[in-house]
Structure 1
Amino acid sequence: MWNWASSPTEIISHIFFLCTVESVESDSIDLAYRTTTQPILLSHVCRRWRAISLATPRLWSVVVIGLGHVSPSSCYRLSRGHPLSFDEKSPRNSNSTLQIRTFLNRSSSAPLRLHIDLRDEGWTFQLPESSHPSDVYSDRLSIVLDLLFHHIRRWQDVEVLSDTWLPQHMFIKRCSRFPIPPKLRHLSLARCNAYFALEGALFSPAALGEHCVLFQSDGQGEDSFEFAPSLSDDEQCGEPHALQSVSLAGVHIDWGNCGQIFRGLSRLELKYHTAEVLPSRLELTKMLQSSESLESLSIVGWGHRPSSSGGERLSDNPSTRTSSLLEDRHRVYLPRLKEFTFGWVNASHASSLLSSIFTQEQNPFPALSELVLEDVTNSLDPPSNRDSSLVLNALSHLLTLPSPLAQRAPIRRLHHRHIFASISSEMRLFAACTGQYGVIEELTLQGTNENLLIALLRMAVASDDKGHENGDAESHTRENSQKDQAKFFLDRLTIQEGNFCVDSSVLRVFLQVFPVPVDFDSDGVCADFEDDATYWDPDEGRDVSCSEDGPANWIPSGISILSTSFTSDGHQETPERMKGGDSNTLAYDCDHPQAVAFIGQNVESSGYPIDFCCLPAIS
């Protein structure tokens, strides 16, 4: 049995620190708040634990700040059910700022991880931003930021999330007075409103649309806070920074004066910006060129300013576009890139971006192993089924260019989100992704149609025909031989929530040709099965007709379903994974109109409630 009394202090200290690691790495802000409460709880158990806690600076080095730190309203909480007490006359001495000061002081000289989440769960984006609590109480936010910037030299990881622009603007304006913090590794700024990226959207509030420098690049920051300590000579000299990851979602900066920030990054995200505040094509090119060590790149939205917003105009005709493009030697080549996320709101603009930014002499991403593609318009607006063939064709062209590597590895994971394109374009993309290997380890589909499945089937048939022509019939029955003979092969399929509409016969044939593990989010599958469709009933041990037992209640063996349940007021609860063959029933509340409407399309008007259309049994 573990004896705490005789355990070394160093071990107990490390265990205490591990208590906070899980919550810090979680995406849930509720779990992240545990990082705030856990050190306090540990320090109140006994005298020895308190001494160890106070002597462990890294235990206090994670500072989580929520809306409750800036809003005096009791409806905002710092942690589970504990209302804040504010001193209206002296906000600097309120409980919230006292807690921040306590963590900052007890963390001593340890590197800081800052998580600032100023989002309001009850906020609706139809309201004016000036009515948001973070904007109304911006004076209190200013006090909190002043506390944090007093310790800017210790920043290691920083994340700022907001519904509105003002908090981001206040943060960036303060950053612009300092050089890049010497210990800063990860920086993530997100104005969480993806709708600003839609075509025709204008930046708001216009009065705060200026492009501010994120950090001083020459090491000569003003450092004008009266309480801010002077930076050391080493920190002022402009030595290479430690920054590895930058994410700017809906947050713009002075793109022309940010070269030092992007130099040497391994991860970069530029997402959901209003078109008018984006960098020009030349600025984007220079940014990516300074980040030639990138291993992960996300460009979601416009990427650079379109011609209608003051960007460079490009001809839609590739044959007449040459004169307006940069010379190829000045284009972007990312030899270490492993993950590429590309989302667009305008297919023509996205195609031009791919053709004009990246090198055309060789494959610009020879090490790419994971590709995420998304039509942002279809995911944000009601599905418009816009044709994205132009984008897929442009990307396929880049991926099939000669590779400087002796043998380019295939793209092993492909995510296909809300994309509608021709069958030929889909086939061209898959061929470019798989290369000579013909293998995709994992394919994730969300909000698409059957063209993609048909493209995969045609490629499988084509590879089968090729195998027969070569006289290698035996390879059609052995999985390893399939891969060795460069047949098109799929290891795993995931279908996520979304308007995934497909004819049941296509889905049936697809799963017969590709007998792979499938992860289904049941809310995203709309399959219209014939009256004689059957499913496997594990209790009966046989195929049961859908017409025999009404709506299908059983998950086919070998299929994994992500089931969503609802509370009495119609709110979605945490999905629960269920697997076929385990006698699991789909327990949906079909009498609840919101639940029914969420699970099926036009269920109420169809005359009968369908909780789930299950796959037919596959022999």
Structure 2
Amino acid sequence: MPSLYEVQRDTASPQWSTTSITKNTLDKGHCHSPMKPIPVELISDIFTWASHSSDELHDSISQPITISHVCRLWRRVSLSTTSLWTTIFLTLPLSHNQLTRTATWIVRSRNRPLHIHMDFRDPAWAWDEAVHSFHWKAMENIMRLILPQAPRWQHIELLTDTWAPIFTFLSYTARVKSAPLLQDIRLARCNAYFVAKGEPFRPANMAHPIAWFGGGAGLRGLRKISLAGVHVDWANAGLTGLKDLELKYHSQQVMPTLEEFVCIMHANPELERLVILGWGPHIDESLKDATQIVQLLHLKEFELGFVDVDYAIDMLSIFCVPNIQELIIEDVASGINPSQNQDSSRFFDYLSVLSDETSSPYFPLRSLRSLSLRGVLVANDSIHRFMSHLHSMKSLCLAGIDALSLHALCAAVSTCASIATLTLKDIDAAAAASVLEDSLKPLPSYLRILVDIYSDQDDLDAAAIAAAM
């Protein structure tokens, strides 16, 4: 891998500045561009908008290159526009050219905040942890390149299939004493299987947690973090002042203690969105008491995916979220192994109890405006009691629900007079048509129904659904 000095010497551009490109420069330029009369500052803004307005990361890389090769004037303006070069994107197959490009972007962006995206997922991977096209050594080369720029990191995203590259990232960031601009971190080991009940963390020799970013002391501006299958030293994670927190698909073995989890929640009183898919803290009933109730007064959106219904009930028992507006509930276990559907009725019964104003913890269903249920199996009585509390709900989404539960849920829609939109997703077309024919007749005039079906005979089943409506 070339050194940063070599890349600077060979590929870095002259240190143009926007103010140095004077009117005289434009008048004597060799490019007869229709943009010549336009002020340089405005050209620079147009280039930035053209490069970063798309959601496609590839555009943030390709557009600056294209712009800088149109003519001499455009090249001078683009090379002086530091905001053009702030997005770094690395993916498989990792090449020498990608590393060289990254070093060049680092130079051209100068002191601008950096957005770093790394996606090393391999669709051809055979699920063997020891054999992958991207390994720790390649990650080490990348960290040596980007780590000196840690004071400029604003957004970091790292997606992998295996643990070794994540472990390398965490180990290197442990040396970072300060990342003052870092607002958003997304780390994902994209293997949801580890969330299965009783599944240990692997590889076992890398299970010990790492106190990243100087034991968390280097994270002062962090506002959003997503950890999917990635654990850290929870007691020294620096998770404070967050607005958005996601903890997803972890082995139960590596999750925080209840005391550590409660401390994290108390350090984030302004949290607006919380996602827990799989396991939350280790809950020892003998250690639970009223002092461990977590009040999140600003929480608006809560997404909870459970592997075990009894555990989900225990976890809900520590929360007080009086201003919740959007709730997403998912049976994660059914997504991992569809044959392991569990009856979630007692979970919904418990939510109904928490909706009582006199209870603590407190989970006011009456204030919900949006509800999504994914893959849950629930009985008639429980879901009717639950839905009867939803006085303000405008939107209901049912995804991956089996036919019996779908009938029960749709029949309960009549208890929610405020609902305006019902969305059915990943539902068998025949089941959807049957539900619309039986459970929702007559259809309320104010109810809008959106159906996203799957079937081998989509056209025929779509016609059946249309007839049912």
The verdict on a shared fold, with TM-score over 0.5 as the criterion, is yes
- Per mean C-alpha deviation after superposition, the further-off stretch among 333-342 and 197-206 is 197-206
Q: Is the 8 A contact 1:369 1:409 kept in 2?
A: no
Q: CA RMSD in A?
A: 2.6
Shift of residue 445, structure 1, vs aligned partner? 0.8
Describe how 1:504-583 pairs up with structure 2 within 5 A.
504-509=433-438, 510=440, 512-515=442-445, 516-523=447-454
Of 358, 364, 372, which aligns to 1:415?
372
Q: What is the distance in 1 between the residues matched to 2:46 and 2:101?
A: 23
Shift of residue 256, structure 1, vs aligned partner? 1.9
The runs of 5 or more residues in structure 2 that have no matched partner are 1-32
Describe how 1:2-401 pairs up with structure 2 within 5 A.
3-23=34-54, 26=55, 31-69=56-94, 84=95, 94-125=96-127, 128-135=128-135, 138-217=136-215, 219=217, 241-258=220-237, 261-305=238-282, 312=284, 314=285, 324-355=286-317, 357-358=318-319, 364-401=320-357
Q: Is the 8 A contact 2:352 2:365 kept in 1?
A: no
Of 380, 401, 410, which aligns to 1:448?
401
Shift of residue 3, structure 1, vs aligned partner? 4.3
1:207-257 Cα shifts (integer Å, max 9, x gaps): 1111111222475xxxxxxxxxxxxxxxxxx7x811100110000111122
Change (3 A) 1:22 1:195: farther
Secondary structure of 2:37's aligned partner: coil
Look up the equivalent residue of 2:261 and give its one-letter code: L
Q: What is the distance in 1 between the residues matched to 2:432 and 2:190?
A: 36
Identity of aligned residues (%): 32
Shift of residue 499, structure 1, vs aligned partner? 5.3
- Per mean C-alpha deviation after superposition, the further-off stretch among 338-347 and 500-509 is 500-509
- Higher CA-based Rg: 1
Change (3 A) 1:161 1:268: same
Secondary structure of 2:270's aligned partner: coil
Look up the equivalent residue of 1:418 and give its one-letter code: G
Shift of residue 488, structure 1, vs aligned partner? 2.1
Secondary structure of 1:216's aligned partner: helix
Q: What is the distance in 1 between the residues matched to 2:377 and 2:300?
A: 25
1:233-283 Cα shifts (integer Å, max 9, x gaps): xxxxx7x8111001100001111222xx22110000000001111112222
1:403-441 Cα shifts (integer Å, max 9, x gaps): 999x99721111110001122221233233x2xxx3421
Q: What is the distance in 1 between the residues matched to 2:138 and 2:454?
A: 43
The runs of 5 or more residues in structure 1 that have no matched partner are 70-83, 85-93, 220-237, 306-310, 315-323, 359-363, 464-486, 527-550, 552-562, 564-585, 587-609
TM-score calculated relative to the size of structure 2: 0.85
Q: What is the distance in 1 between the residues matched to 2:313 and 2:367?
A: 22
Q: What is the distance in 2 between the residues matched to 1:117 and 1:264?
A: 27
Q: Which runs of 4+ in 1 moved over 6 A?
A: none
Look up the equivalent residue of 1:400 and give its one-letter code: D
Change (3 A) 1:424 1:198: same
Secondary structure of 2:464's aligned partner: coil
1:505-525 Cα shifts (integer Å, max 9, x gaps): 54214153344222222207x
Bigger proportion of residues as helix: 2
Q: Is the 8 A contact 1:508 1:616 kept in 2?
A: no
Report whether the alignment pairs 1:489 with 2:418.
Answer: yes
Change (3 A) 1:38 1:459: closer
Q: What is the distance in 2 between the residues matched to 1:430 and 1:120?
A: 42
Other-structure match for 2:21: none
Change (3 A) 1:505 1:131: closer
1:457-489 Cα shifts (integer Å, max 9, x gaps): 3562xx6xxxxxxxxxxxxxxxxxxxxxxx623
Secondary structure of 2:130's aligned partner: helix
Shift of residue 618, structure 1, vs aligned partner? 5.2
Q: What is the distance in 1 between the residues matched to 2:310 and 2:258?
A: 15
Change (3 A) 1:165 1:447: same
1:561-612 Cα shifts (integer Å, max 9, x gaps): xx7xxxxxxxxxxxxxxxxxxxxxx4xxxxxxxxxxxxxxxxxxxxxxx765
Q: What is the distance in 2 between the residues matched to 1:34 and 1:218?
A: 33
Q: Is the 8 A contact 2:313 2:350 kept in 1?
A: yes
Other-structure match for 1:614: 464
Look up the equivalent residue of 2:62 and give its one-letter code: T
Q: Is the 8 A contact 1:279 1:304 kept in 2?
A: yes
Q: Is the 8 A contact 1:448 1:501 kept in 2?
A: no
Secondary structure of 1:425's aligned partner: helix
Q: What is the distance in 1 between the residues matched to 2:333 and 2:114?
A: 38
Q: What is the distance in 2 between the residues matched to 1:613 and 1:303?
A: 44
